[in-house]
Structure formats: structure tokens, C-alpha cells
């Protein structure tokens, strides 16, 4: 998803527009996660960018998109740009910490 969202739409309350934008983003992520994961991958990971314009968009973690949207709305932005691209992800084994050994029974 590469999209510029308008926050100020004539005839619509800004809070409802904000809720609709967040819903659309969450719905997209949920739909992408339902797709079959390619062979050799463990899950769907996401490359995300957020900015007031496509040229000024910076990398953001998926969990940071909604707070970034809220911050942009609070600052009075007219619109913002979101880019969310799904990619296959591979889980990494957690390093064993000292003292976490399990005694065999």
C-alpha cells in the first residue's frame, strides 16, 4: 500500500476521517497477514514509511504508524503519506541467556 490520505475532507468530521484511515490501514495489514506465507518464510514482515509527503517519508516500525498518524493530526496536517509493503520474514533464534538452562527430568 502506497497512499496519501487526506485528513481534511469537506462535509466530514475530522475525527471520523481519522478513524476511517486507521481502520483502512489495519484492514490492509490484516488482509496481508492472511495470505499464504512463501516456502522458507515464517511470517509476513512489513517495511513501512510515514511522512507528510512521499518525498519526506521516513522508515517507521509497523507499530509506530498509528501514533505517527495521531501526531500528524494533532499538528494539523492536511494529509500524510503511508507506505506499507509486505515481505516474507524469518524468525531468529533467541540467544540463550546464562541461568536459563533447563534441567532434564
Q: pLDDT tens digit string along 27-55?
A: 999 999 999 999 999 999 999 999 999 99
Query: Residue 14's pLDDT is what?
Result: 94
- Non-local CB neighbours of 18 within 8 Å, separated by 6+ positions: 7, 69, 70, 73
How do the domains of the chain map onto residue ranges?
2-89
Q: From first to last of its 105 residues, what are the pLDDT tens digits of the chain?
A: 999 999 999 999 999 999 999 999 999 999 999 999 999 999 999 999 999 999 999 999 999 999 999 999 999 999 999 999 999 999 988 887 766 566 665
Q: Dihedral of the CA atoms 65, 70, 75, 78 (nearest 10)?
A: 80
Local structure of 50: helix, strand or coil = strand
Query: Residue 104's pLDDT is what?
Result: 62
Amino acid at each position: 500500500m502506497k497512499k496519501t490520505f487526506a485528513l481534511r475532507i469537506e462535509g466530514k468530521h475530522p475525527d471520523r476521517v481519522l478513524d476511517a484511515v486507521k481502520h483502512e490501514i489495519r484492514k490492509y495489514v490484516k488482509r496481508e497477514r492472511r495470505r499464504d506465507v512463501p516456502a522458507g518464510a515464517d511470517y509476513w514482515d512489513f517495511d513501512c514509511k510515514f511522512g507528510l509527503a512521499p518525498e519526506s517519508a521516513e522508515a517507521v516500525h509497523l507499530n509506530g504508524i498509528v501514533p505517527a498518524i495521531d501526531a500528524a493530526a494533532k499538528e494539523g496536517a492536511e494529509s500524510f503519506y503511508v507506505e506499507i509493503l509486505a515481505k516474507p520474514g524469518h524468525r531468529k533464534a533467541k540467544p540463550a541467556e546464562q541461568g536459563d538452562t533447563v534441567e532434564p527430568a
